[in-house]
Amino acid sequence: MANLAYLFLYTWALSLLGSFLAVAFFASSLVQRRDIEHIEYLVLIVPFLFWFALSLTGLAPKSLANIYESLFLGVGISILYTFRIVGNRRIKFAGKLMLVTACVVAITIYIVTPVLPE
């Protein structure tokens, strides 16, 4: 059980490393007092939970080297936040759209990435 918790924290740290721009966005928003939807905070954890749950189920054979998929997920989340920053912030459902898109990206990364050699 402790190994599973360690694996979860390690892969989530890789995901956050990949989504560095998203974390920087939140930091700058707090300093500038921008309005952030609460659902935008969920984009940092929910897609990762989808990917981690898929990894635990073992639907597709994966090796330990596939942990770096979480880094790619973080980069995808960062790209979504870049679109959010550059795009129109007046769209009411933009946060929900970002969350759904990030979850689709997580599932796609899991399905498309082949087994990597260790």
* pLDDT of residue 1 exceeding 70: no
pLDDT at 52: 86
Region 93-104: mean pLDDT is 88
Q: Which of 18, 6, 4, 2 is nearest to 109 (CA)?
A: 18
Helices (H), 33-114: 38-42, 46-57, 69-86, 94-112
42-78: pLDDT as tens digits: 888 899 888 888 888 878 788 777 888 888 888 888 8
24-39: pLDDT as tens digits: 776 666 656 566 677 8
Which residue did the predictor score with more confidence, 66 or 87?
A: 66
pLDDT at 107: 92
